[in-house]
């Protein structure tokens, strides 16, 4: 009999052996790859169609995003209202999103309604008509949102720092102005839609409690389309970063805060240092107990929160520190960031702090493996970055075994103030 007077043993998260549930893979008749995770107890599913139709492929600014958004705004047989009504009738949610290389259609609902919903998605990606009135509404709303956002220093800082690091002509550094939205026309959107959706490259991810005839349903709706697997290399565009490294921008004379962004170029996930730097980044500014939070929030009281992270891009990427602080302490905040870099370059992290970071990272991964949608999210990131399950297990090994000496050497290599672009927008 269990003795409840004896507490159970406490184990550190790093003592757990994590396992990434494998996916099931098949191809549709047209060669489109499909990755599935059949798991969970609830009769729900999530379907993601990932098209290689991001802004890296557009010839004019804002075309990729507008095309993706308006997929849900009318076909030759359904109005925007009728499309939305078709999803709402079955309690489904359909979202769109456009990124640098990819554009996504995400559908979630009860598993029993999959057969009713797939034809609607098929109609969206083969028969969207991009009506003039729908585009006009989109342009008006987009310009209004942009006008409001441009008054916010954090919005201005977020887009300017990318422009400095990558260059304004680079897909990662470009940003949209009102005149770019005004220049949109339906002919551009229809051509982009034809090239990158009707005849585009696609990969499909499905997770949840899946029906036994999933492959047949997907083949019926998508297997006969002109879609294909993405076997071509992504557009290679070299960064053209700004020559100046330090910027101070006045955006709101009435504002009381400065938006601070500090960033440098960094290798992507294929570089041997990437996994180890994820540990260093967490220690530096990647979670609530980080050095930056402890100093700049808890000790100095300059900010409500400060974070560092490596951008999740498929090609080039950047290491970025982001925060908002009072106008009068913005410069001091930057100096404190550099002081924390200096400490990491010169001193060894103690084992207690390193153990805390290890446990935090393993605990985060444990949370990410809780349920089929989260598991598929892990796999999607691995697959789209052209990696495999070895990357996952190698990451776990690095978290558990990286030494304080290795962390200090990485800090010497990557945390040097002269390598960072520095921006304060007030």
Task: Give 371-393 as a 3 state SS string.
Answer: CHHHHHHHHHHHHHCCCCHHHHH
Report if pTM > 0.85. Answer: yes
DSSP class of 249:
E
CATH number of 246-425: 3.30.830.10
Q: Are strands 257-266 and 33-38 parallel, antiparallel or unpaired?
A: unpaired
Token pair belonging to 354 = 């390193």
The maximal CA–CA distance of the chain, rounded, in angstroms, is 75
Residue 424 to residue 327: CA distance in whole angstroms: 9
Give the C-alpha separation, 26 to 174, whole Å: 36
CA separation for the pair 55, 63 (Å, rounded): 8
Q: Structure tokens of 300?
A: 């100095």
Specify the DSSP element, H or E, that contains 309: strand 306-310
Contact (CB, 8 A) for 327 and 257? yes
Hey, CA dihedral for 98, 102, 108, 112, is it positive or negative? positive
E strands present in 77-201: 93-98, 103-110
According to CATH, the superfamily of the domain at 24-223 is Metalloenzyme, LuxS/M16 peptidase-like (3.30.830.10)
Strand partners, 27: 33
* Contact residues for 422 (Cβ-Cβ < 8 A; gap 6+): 245, 246, 247, 261, 262, 334
CB atoms inside a 10 Å sphere around CB 147: 10
Collapse the DSSP code of 411 into the 3-class scheme (helix H, G, I; strand E, B; otherwise coil) and give the result.
Answer: helix
Report the candidate in 363, 258, 264, 268 with the shortest Cα–Cα distance to residue 308.
264
Q: Tens of pLDDT along the chain (426 residues)?
A: 678 888 877 777 777 788 999 999 999 999 999 999 999 999 999 999 999 999 999 999 999 999 999 999 999 999 999 999 999 999 999 999 999 999 999 999 999 999 999 999 999 999 999 999 999 999 999 999 999 999 999 999 999 999 999 999 999 999 999 999 999 999 999 999 999 999 999 999 999 999 999 999 999 999 999 999 998 877 778 889 999 999 999 998 888 899 999 999 999 999 999 999 999 999 999 999 999 999 999 999 999 999 999 998 988 999 999 999 999 999 999 999 999 999 999 999 999 999 999 999 999 999 889 899 999 999 999 999 999 999 999 999 999 999 999 999 999 999 999 999 999 999
Report residue 74 as tokens.
Answer: 């009318």
Which bin fits 40, alpha (ψ -120 to 50), beta or left (φ > 0)? left
Number of neighbouring beta carbons within 10 Å of residue 44: 19
* Nearest-angstrom CA–CA distance, 421 and 426: 17
Is residue 39 exposed (0-12), middle (13-18) or buried (19+ Cβ within 10 Å)? middle
Is residue 98 within 8 A of residue 154, CB to CB? The reply is: no
Measure CA of the first residue to CA of the last residue in the chain; give whole Å. 65
Q: What pLDDT, on the 0 to 100 scale, is given for residue 229? A: 95
3 state SS of 122: helix
Domain borders along the chain are: 24-223, 246-425
Tell me how far CA of residue 253 lies from CA of 36, 250, 260, 425, in angstroms: 52, 7, 16, 11
Judged by DSSP in three states, 42 sits in coil
CA distance 374 to 249: 39
Report the pLDDT value the prediction gives residue 16, as an integer from 0 to 100: 78
Per-residue pLDDT at 95: 97
């Amino acid at each position: 009999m269990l003795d409840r007077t004896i507490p159970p043993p406490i184990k550190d998260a790093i003592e757990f052996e994590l396992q990434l549930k494998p996916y099931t893979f098949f191809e549709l008749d047209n060669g489109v790859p499909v990755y599935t995770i059949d798991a969970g107890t609830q009769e729900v599913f999530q379907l993601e169609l990932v098209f290689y139709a991001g802004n890296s492929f557009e010839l004019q600014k804002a075309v990729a995003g507008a095309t993706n958004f308006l997929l849900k705004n009318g076909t030759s047989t359904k109005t925007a209202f009728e499309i939305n009504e078709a999803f709402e009738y079955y309690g489904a949610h359909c979202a769109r999103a456009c990124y640098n290389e990819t554009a996504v259609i995400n559908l979630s609902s009860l598993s029993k309604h999959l057969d009713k919903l797939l034809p609607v998605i098929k109609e969206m990606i083969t028969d969207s008509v991009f009506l003039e009135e729908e585009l006009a509404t989109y342009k008006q709303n987009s310009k209004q949102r942009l006008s409001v956002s441009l008054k916010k220093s954090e919005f201005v800082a977020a887009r300017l720092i990318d422009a400095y690091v990558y260059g304004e002509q680079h897909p990662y550094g470009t940003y949209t102005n009102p005149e770019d939205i005004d220049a949109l026309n339906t002919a551009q959107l229809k051509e982009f839609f034809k090239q990158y959706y009707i005849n585009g490259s696609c990969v499909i991810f499905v997770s949840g409690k899946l029906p036994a005839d999933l492959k047949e349903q997907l083949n019926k709706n998508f297997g006969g389309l002109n879609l294909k697997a993405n076997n071509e290399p992504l557009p290679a565009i070299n960064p053209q970063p700004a020559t100046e490294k330090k910027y101070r921008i006045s955006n709101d004379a009435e504002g009381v805060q400065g938006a601070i962004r500090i960033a440098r170029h960094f290798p992507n996930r294929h570089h041997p240092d990437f996994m180890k730097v994820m540990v260093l980044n967490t220690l530096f500014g990647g979670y609530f107990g980080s050095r930056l939070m402890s100093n700049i929030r808890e000790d100095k009281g300059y900010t409500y929160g400060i974070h560092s992270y490596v951008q999740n891009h498929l090609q080039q990427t950047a290491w970025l520190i982001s925060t908002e602080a009072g106008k009068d302490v913005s410069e001091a905040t930057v100096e404190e960031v550099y002081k924390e870099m200096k400490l990491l370059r010169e001193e060894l992290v103690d084992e207690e702090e390193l153990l805390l970071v290890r446990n935090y990272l393993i605990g985060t991964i444990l949370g990410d493996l809780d349920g089929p949608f989260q598991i598929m999210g892990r796999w999607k990131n691995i697959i789209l970055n052209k990696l495999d399950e070895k990357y996952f297990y190698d990451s776990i090994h690095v978290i558990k075994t990286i030494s304080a000496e290795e962390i200090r050497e990485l800090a010497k290599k990557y945390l040097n103030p002269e390598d960072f672009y520095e921006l304060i927008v007030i």
